[in-house]
Structure 1
Amino acid sequence: MINKITDTIAEAVSVVKDGDVVLIGGFGTAGNPNELIDGLIAHGARNLTVVNNNAGNGYTGLAALLQSGLVQKIICSFPRTADSWVFNDLYRAGKIELELVPQGTLAERMRAAGAGIGAFFCPTAYGTELANGKETREINGKHYVLEYPIYGDVALVKAEQGDRWGNLTYRMAARNFGPVCAVAAKHTIATVHEIVELGQLDPEAVVTPGIYVNSIVQIPFVATQAGGFKQAA
């Protein structure tokens, strides 16, 4: 019987090894799998390459992972934000490497990995420093830069609902990079707020099919100061 439900975060992230490429969903603070990131910090795998849209906010989640010293390189689109203090300090001190990739190109490079595409030409970055050292080509009068897929050893994503086969749905903007991270990795771990029985998920609502997911862990809703509950975006 296929059952991808994992009881604990620690068990789920135990597959991460030193030197792995870890794809992490999230856009700013929306859709960040913070529970999995905290578990990764506790797990302690080192010399990681992290792929994410940005380089962390404040001192929690991805920023905490960078601060832990476990990451040697980050591939992202927006390393500088109003509260990217941890990355700024590490980068200026020469303690972390940065590969800057335009946002659409970042998503397409991961999607290409999942689709089995060897490389693709993209017009973004042509004529800029980001194209230095890369093959360029003129096609139908327009200039393009050759880009290669980004493959992950492990993907960490935050979903909304899942079943024991690993089928996933997402909540609104929390979907963002999660689906492309999932298809580009050898091993995908997802958190969900609700685990439902097989057949309860509308097939039309399933964004990430279970074939791309290896493990799901249920996490609780976040308590608010007012005493109620909210869904963490």
Structure 2
Amino acid sequence: MLDKTIDSPTAAVSDIPDGASIAVGGFGLVGIPARLIDALRKQGASELTVISNNLGTDGFGLGLLLEDKRIARSIGSYIGSNKEYARQYLAGELTVEFTPQGTLAERLRAGGAGIPAFYTKAGVGTQLSEGGLPARYNSDGSVAEFSRPKETREFGGELFVLEEAIQADFALVHAHKADRYGNLVFRKTARNFNPDVAMSGRVTIAQVEHLVDAIDPDDVHVPGIYVDRIVVVGEQETGIENRTLTEQEA
């Protein structure tokens, strides 16, 4: 199918089922596919596994799915300033798999490139490789599930840990512009995790600010072969994750 445009965010996410794994682009509040997340919230899918650097903030982005108790498992780098994320994790309502930021990006990229696993030095000699990180708590604060040890191997006299690639059922990304064939261009820091996420999805859905007739091949950040659906949402305003005021401004 050459023309990959979809009429609305609602139509674009309509077939995401309960229990699906979903990779979501963005970093903090930058490059977040907020319109697709809003549509998924209204669609109603639950028991989701979400792979994303973080889970948004309270009241925005993936934080909205958290508030609705729609996420069962999170794979990401950090909790950030999302108080509901921390509360659900510590209360035993959410299973969490932490992974270093660079490792997460490479796991997503590897999933799209058909590489099943890779070795990295990140995390060697820590609980990340040796196991024992709390993945899920009980409601009384005791640990219900620990992370498992990972395979390690020596190369050139140094130890490396094996990390498995991530291929999600669906991927949601935000791009600055696209053509009808699905070729994507990201703007400045909004590129962040979006290219790796786009590669990792078995079905990749992109919300874009602008639809153009053609993109110079040298300007393409993600080729259309990785993208299945395009929905035009117009320009998206980026919120402020943490606001710091001087005493006078406060």
Fold shared per TM-score above 0.5: yes
Secondary structure in structure 2 of the residue aligned to 1:104: helix
Contact 2:73 2:96 in 1 (8 A): yes
Counterpart CA distance in 1 for 2:100 and 2:121 is 11
Per-residue deviation, residues 132-162 of structure 1 (Å, max 9, x unmatched): 2111111101110011001100000000111
Counterpart CA distance in 2 for 1:56 and 1:168 is 23
Residue matched to 2:246:
none
Residue matched to 1:219:
233
Per-residue deviation at 1:91?
A: 1.0
AA aligned opposite 1:139: F
Residue matched to 1:87:
85
Per-residue deviation, residues 111-147 of structure 1 (Å, max 9, x unmatched): 1111111211111001111112111111101110011
Residue matched to 1:33:
33
Question: TM-score when scaled to structure 2?
Answer: 0.86
How many residue pairs get aligned? The number is: 221
Picking from 186, 191, 210, the partner of 1:170 is: 186
Secondary structure in structure 2 of the residue aligned to 1:211: helix
Query: What are the within-5 Å matches in structure 2 for residues 19-30 of structure 1?
Result: 19-30=19-30
Per-residue deviation, residues 36-76 of structure 1 (Å, max 9, x unmatched): 11111111111100011112213211111111111100000
Return 5+ residue gaps in structure 2 as ranges. Answer: 132-148, 240-250
Residue matched to 2:223:
209
Counterpart CA distance in 2 for 1:72 and 1:32 is 20
Residue matched to 2:153:
137
Residue matched to 1:113:
111
Per-residue deviation at 1:232?
A: 4.4
Per-residue deviation, residues 5-31 of structure 1 (Å, max 9, x unmatched): 101111000121111110000001110
AA aligned opposite 1:193: E
Counterpart CA distance in 2 for 1:56 and 1:10 is 20
Return 5+ residue gaps in structure 1 as ranges. Answer: 223-230
Counterpart CA distance in 2 for 1:143 and 1:19 is 36
Q: How large is the RMSD of aligned CA atoms in angstroms?
A: 1.3
Secondary structure in structure 1 of the residue aligned to 2:124: coil
Picking from 153, 177, 198, the partner of 2:169 is: 153
Secondary structure in structure 1 of the residue aligned to 2:166: coil
Contact 1:59 1:86 in 2 (8 A): no
Contact 1:221 1:232 in 2 (8 A): no
Contact 2:107 2:164 in 1 (8 A): yes
AA aligned opposite 2:204: T
Contact 2:29 2:238 in 1 (8 A): no
Question: TM-score when scaled to structure 1?
Answer: 0.92
* Identity %, equivalent residues: 44
Counterpart CA distance in 1 for 2:165 and 2:22 is 14
Picking from 174, 177, 186, the partner of 2:202 is: 186
Residue matched to 1:226:
none
Per-residue deviation, residues 164-211 of structure 1 (Å, max 9, x unmatched): 1111100100011111111111000001111111xx312111111111
Residue matched to 1:227:
none
Contact 1:57 1:84 in 2 (8 A): yes
Counterpart CA distance in 1 for 2:126 and 2:67 is 30
Counterpart CA distance in 1 for 2:238 and 2:94 is 29
Residue matched to 1:8:
8
Secondary structure in structure 2 of the residue aligned to 1:78: coil
Structure 1 segments of 4+ aligned residues over 2 angstroms from their partners: none
Contact 2:176 2:210 in 1 (8 A): yes
